[in-house]
C-alpha cells in the first residue's frame, strides 16, 4: 500500500481531500466539481480509502465519501521536526544565538547571520 506521502503527492487526490474538508460528497459530485472522469475519481477515491484518508457509506446507488483525519494528522506530526525553522519563536532564538555568537567572536563589527567566516567551518580533509 502507498505511504501517506505518496497518496497526497497526486494533485487530484489533494483536490478531493480539500473538497471533502468542506463536506461529504458523492462520487458524481466530486467528478463534476473537479472536472475529472468518473473512473478517475473512483480510482483516486479507492487509493484514498485504502490509505485511510476517507471512508464511504452507501446511499442507494450513490457512495458518500467523507474525510478521515488520521493520515493527514500523521503528515502533520512528521512536519513537527521542521516547525522550529519557521515558527516565530525560532526567529527570537536565532537572534539570540547570533548575539551570543558575535560575542564569542569578539568582533566589533556586527556580523550578518549568513556570514561566511572561514573560521567557523570544519577544516578540509582527506580520508
CA nearest 28: which of 14, 11, 45?
45
Q: Is 38 in the site for a second copy (CB under 8 A)?
A: no
Start-end of H helices in the chain: 4-7, 11-22, 27-34, 38-50, 70-83, 88-105
User: Rounded distance, CA 67 to CA 52, Å?
Assistant: 9
Q: Is 12 in the site for DNA (CB under 7 A)?
A: yes
Residue 110 contacts which entry, DNA, a second copy, none (Cβ below 5-8 A, type-dependent) = none
Cβ neighbors of 93 (< 8 A, separation 6 or more) are 84
Q: Is 37 in the site for a second copy (CB under 8 A)?
A: no
Task: Kindly tell me which of 93 and 106 has the beta carbon lying closer to a second copy.
Answer: 93
By CB under 8 A, name the binding residues for a second copy: 3, 5-6, 8-9, 11, 14, 17-18, 21, 57, 59-62, 64, 67, 69-70, 72-73, 75-76, 78-79, 81-83, 85-86, 116, 121-122, 124
Amino acid at each position: 500500500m502507498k505511504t501517506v506521502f505518496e497518496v497526497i503527492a497526486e494533485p487530484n487526490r489533494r483536490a478531493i481531500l480539500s473538497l471533502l474538508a468542506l463536506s461529504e460528497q458523492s462520487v458524481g459530485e466530486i467528478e463534476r466539481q473537479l472536472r475529472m472522469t468518473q473512473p478517475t475519481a473512483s480510482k483516486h477515491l479507492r487509493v484514498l480509502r485504502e490509505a485511510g484518508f476517507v471512508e464511504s457509506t452507501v446511499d442507494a446507488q450513490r457512495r458518500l465519501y467523507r474525510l478521515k483525519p488520521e493520515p493527514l494528522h500523521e503528515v502533520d506530526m512528521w512536519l513537527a521536526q521542521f516547525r522550529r525553522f519557521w515558527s516565530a519563536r525560532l526567529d527570537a532564538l536565532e537572534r539570540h544565538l547570533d548575539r551570543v555568537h558575535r560575542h564569542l567572536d569578539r568582533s566589533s563589527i556586527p556580523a550578518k547571520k549568513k556570514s561566511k567566516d572561514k573560521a567557523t567551518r570544519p577544516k578540509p580533509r582527506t580520508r
